[in-house]
Amino acid sequence: MVKLICCGNIKVNKHVGYILPMCVCSAEEAQEELQEFQQMSRDYEVELETELKQCEARNRELLAANNRLRMEVENYKVQRTLVVIRIWKKK
């Protein structure tokens, strides 16, 4: 279904056999609808920018945590290797 930005009047086109949207609103109505649409678009863009910044910040936090955990794993591997070497030297 087609949704019109302007007043939304529809007419049946008998030559085609289906409903066609017909915009029969005034230039003032169309201008008001356009301005409303543009404002909604700006508001939505601001909302998306805010959400993007939050996602980017969360991503940085997760990357930092991931790096910290990788370092911990490497430290445990080194410690385990040192313990194995000490045990092997005692034999």
pLDDT tens for the 91 residues of the chain, in order? 344 444 555 554 555 555 555 555 688 888 999 999 999 999 999 999 999 999 999 999 999 999 999 999 999 999 999 888 888 888 7
Under DSSP, the state recorded for 65 is: H
Backbone angles phi, psi at 16, to 5 degrees: -90, -35
Q: What is the pTM of this model?
A: 0.56
- Residue 5 neighbours by CB under 8 Å, 6+ apart: 30, 33, 34, 37
CA dist 80 and 77 (Å) reads 5
- Residue 20 neighbours by CB under 8 Å, 6+ apart: 10, 11, 12, 13
- So where are the chain's domains? 29-90
